[in-house]
Amino acid sequence: MAKRQITGKKPKNFRYTVETLLSYLGRHKLLLLWVAVLVTVSALANLLGTYMIRPVVNSLSSGDMGTLIAGVAVTGVIYAVGVAAAYGYTQIMVKAAQRVLFDIRRDLFSHLQTLPLRFFDTRRHGDVMSYFTNDVDTISDALNNSFAMVIQSFIQMAGTLLILFILNWQLSLIVTVCYGAMFLYIRFSGKRSKAYYTMQQKSLGELDGYIEEMVNGQKVVKVFNHEEENMQGFREKNEALRKAGTGAQAFAATMIPAVVSISYINYAIVAILGGIMALQGMTDVGSLASYLVFVRQAAAPINQFTQQGNFLLAALAGAERVFEAMAQQPEKDEGKVERVHVEADGAEEQWAWRREDGTLVPLRGDVRFREVYFGYDSGHPILKDISLYAKPGQKIAFVGSTGAGKTTITNLINRFYDVQEGSVMYDGFDVREIRKKDLRRSLGIVLQDTHLFTGTIADNIRFGKLDAGQEEIERAAKIANADSFIRRLPQGYQTVVTADGANLSQGQRQLLAIARAAIANPSVLILDEATSSIDTRTEALIEKGMDRLMEGRTVFVIAHRLSTVRNADAIMVLEHGKIVERGSHQELLAQKGIYYRLYHGMLELS
């Protein structure tokens, strides 16, 4: 049963992982070439130093002091060269390893920026963070500690076997058999530990994701006294990690004792047979002494090789996860239509769409849905036959129960997801024809869950327009009625926001998000429960500012608080992915349908 589980967990892309890692190493081939040369010199110095035992012992037994002194001096020089080479390759390897890791982290982060929102929606943030921490750390350990050691160990193993045959080929046949037994066991153990190392990295990523989730939700945890249940969940994931780690280390830990035991048996057999051969004059004492030292040392490079091999297995398991993320298909963008700035007489900026042929179409903010069908998973449609239009300057509101598809509609406008049937038109273009970055620059979005970045208040507002000056920042803050509270802060606009705005109230964070959308000066504005975290008094304060922000723009509003959508040009009532009612506030009240019952509290939004 255990074997079947291991087989199911084997790395799927082992060859691809190795090839990709080698391609990163190849970018710094000059440094690694120097490492290989110096490692070779160090390994050969160890071999030659041991071989020098033969002439030194023979000189000592013959009483030739001149040859003895010369042999000792040569041995000292050989070992000095080996030490210098070892120091050189370790220093160069550190530089090469850090450059490789720099490249991997850079490429990983860069690629993650190109992935569609679906990738992040289907993964815990802690698991994504684990790519940069645990997985990259295992690669770092292997490159810093194992890469050079594996090369050196391999050279020493091959060199030792060669010299053993030169010194005494008869005894070396026995050594070869023992070598074979060692490698058979290493292969047997390595296959099993490799699968467990992959399981270990996956379990570690899941545990990190769980911990991050629980730490971020500590207020909710404490409010509902959920500590024991969380601890149980932690125990289960921690236990899975323990089992995977135990499996990986259990197999790996048997390699060195097995190799050492075989080497002891090998040494005992060779020592007895070698002594008999020396007594019979079949070999000289110096050769036997050198030979036995080589046999005794033969286990050392094999042990190093197996030990570093364990690090390499862990690194490949981590690298497989990293490269698997980097192999994810980036967000597709077939759009050719661009958003361009056009000269205008007025003070307001003017924008237009530019086709491939260079012709310009005014950017007005006309959005239309034509018989749109969409589902996040195939076979489970969220939106069904959605058709609607929003003329430039109109305010369209969506109301309905949770899961009715309100936010999904806005996700299709900005192409976080693409429709499966039908089309979303923007100023006469299918949104799929517009370059995504230009499409999204024309949109302003204020989400229910605000996210502020570490930096000053001004920096967070400027996020909507990176080249905005202080005057523009303050004007946007005034539109959102955030200017007054900002100026009351200790450093005003230079107050540093930390921990996603933990030093601000929820309402203040929401006001900054609105200011951030205002500074972008979008043609289409999407307000997804934008005032849900603002109290009624604060909402009244920003109402005029919001009206100024929405003036002349196409606005989509998602709201549970129906008082915020009364002045909308059209209200869409959604149920189960369909528009079941549409009209103005007064028209819907006159129909005395779902909206009427919602407004008068006869029906609740669930």
Are residues 168 and 259 both part of a single domain? yes
In a domain, 346, yes or no: no
Q: Residue 100: exposed, middle, or buried by beta-carbon count in 10 A (0-12, 13-18, 19+)?
A: buried
Claim to verify: residue 479 and residue 536 sit in the same structural domain:
no
pLDDT (tens digit, 9 = 90+) per residue, 493-524? 999 887 667 778 877 888 888 888 888 888 89
On whether both 559 and 503 belong to a single domain, the answer is no
pLDDT at 175: 75
What percent of the chain shows pLDDT beyond 90? 12
Task: Answer with the residue of higher pLDDT: 54 or 240.
Answer: 240
Q: How high is the pLDDT of residue 387? A: 92
Q: Could you tell me if 484 and 373 lie in one domain? A: no
Q: What is the mean pLDDT of residues 311-339?
A: 85
Burial class (CB in 10 A: 0-12, 13-18, 19+), 232: exposed
**CATH at 461:** 3.40.50.300
Rounded to an integer, what distance in angstroms lies between the CA atom of residue 362 and that of residue 344?
12
290 lies in the same domain as 148 = yes
Q: Are residues 264 and 398 in the same domain?
A: no
Q: Based on the domain organization, do 429 and 561 belong to the same domain?
A: yes
261-274 pLDDT, tens digit per residue, is 777 777 777 777 77
2 found inside a domain: no
Q: What is the mean pLDDT of residues 448-477?
A: 86
So what's the pLDDT on residue 6? 32
d(C-alpha 40, C-alpha 46), whole Å: 10
Q: What is the DSSP secondary structure assignment for residue 377, as one 8-state letter?
A: B
Q: What is the pTM of this model?
A: 0.70
pLDDT for position 499: 64
Q: Which residues pair with 526 in a beta bridge?
A: 445, 556
pLDDT band at 602; cut points 50, 70, 90: low
Please check whether residue 409 is in contact with residue 369, taking contact to mean a CB–CB distance below 8 angstroms: yes
Distance CA 313, CA 433 (A): 46
Q: Please check whether residue 504 lies inside any domain of the structure.
A: yes
E-assigned strand segments in 224-366: 338-342, 350-354, 360-362
The verdict on residue 7 lying in a domain is no
Which pLDDT value is given to residue 539?
65
Report the pLDDT value the prediction gives residue 65, as an integer from 0 to 100. 75
Q: Which of 521, 541, 573 is the last residue of a domain?
A: 521
Task: Out of 136-150, 169-183, 402-416, 525-539, pick the least confident.
Answer: 525-539
Cβ(68)–Cβ(286) below 8 Å: no
The answer to whether 335 touches 394, Cβ cutoff 8 Å, is no
* Residue 331 located in a structural domain: no
**C-alpha span between 545 and 527 (Å, rounded):** 14
Per residue in 523-564, pLDDT (tens digit) is 898 888 766 656 666 666 656 656 666 777 898 988 776 777
DSSP 489-526: STTGGGPEE-TTTTTS-HHHHHHHHHHHHHHT--SEEE
Span of 183-197, 211-225, 376-390 with lowest mean pLDDT: 211-225
Question: Residue 498: which domain range?
Answer: 453-521
Q: Is the pLDDT of residue 146 over 50?
A: yes
438, 514: one domain:
no
**335 assigned to some structural domain:** no
**Range with the lowest mean pLDDT among 112-116, 488-492, 529-533?**
529-533
CATH number at residue 64: 1.20.1560.10
Distances (CA, A) of 599 to 444, 556, 557, 562, 565: 28, 19, 16, 7, 11
Say if 447 falls within a structural domain: no
Sheet order of strands, 395-400 included: 443-446, 524-528, 554-558, 395-400, 570-575, 578-583
For 134-153, what is the HEC assignment? HHHHHHHHHHHHCHHHHHHH
DSSP letter assigned to residue 260: H
Please check whether residues 460 and 438 belong to one and the same domain: no
Tell me, what's the pLDDT at 353? 93
- At residue 458, the pLDDT reads 92
The neighbouring-strand residues paired with 396 are 556, 570
- The residue from 502, 521, 540 where one domain ends is 521
Residue 333 placed within a domain: no
392 and 276 fall within a common domain: no
**Looking at 140-144, 212-216, 579-583, which range is the least confident one?**
212-216
**What's the chain's average pLDDT?**
80
Q: Which residue has the higher pLDDT, 492 or 5?
A: 492
- Collect contacts of 168-174 with beta carbons under 8 A, ≥24 apart: 168/274, 168/277, 168/283, 168/287, 168/288, 168/291, 170/277, 171/270, 171/273, 171/274, 171/277, 171/291, 174/266, 174/269, 174/270, 174/273
How far, in Å, CA of 490 to CA of 453, rounded? 19
- The pLDDT value recorded for residue 4 is 32
pLDDT top residue among 364 and 529? 364
Nearest to 310 by CA among 194, 195, 204: 194
Same domain for 75 and 167?
Answer: yes
- Predicted confidence band of residue 7 (pLDDT cuts 50, 70, 90): very low
Whether 300 and 434 share a structural domain: no
Whether pLDDT at 22 is above 70 = yes
Predicted confidence band at 286 (pLDDT cuts at 50, 70, 90)?
low
Q: Strand 524-528 vs strand 578-583: parallel, antiparallel, or unpaired?
A: unpaired
The CB-side HSE value for 353 (13 A sphere, CA atoms) comes to 26
pLDDT of res. 423: 93
Please state the domain count of the chain.
3
pLDDT at residue 278 above 50? yes
What's the confidence (pLDDT) of residue 540?
A: 65
Domain end among 521, 540, 575: 521
Judge contact between 519 and 476, C-beta under 8 A. Answer: yes
pLDDT at 457 over 70: yes
- Measured from the Cβ of residue 307, the count of other Cβ atoms closer than 10 Å reads 20
pLDDT of residue 312: 78
Name the residue among 329, 523, 354 with its Cα closest to residue 434: 354
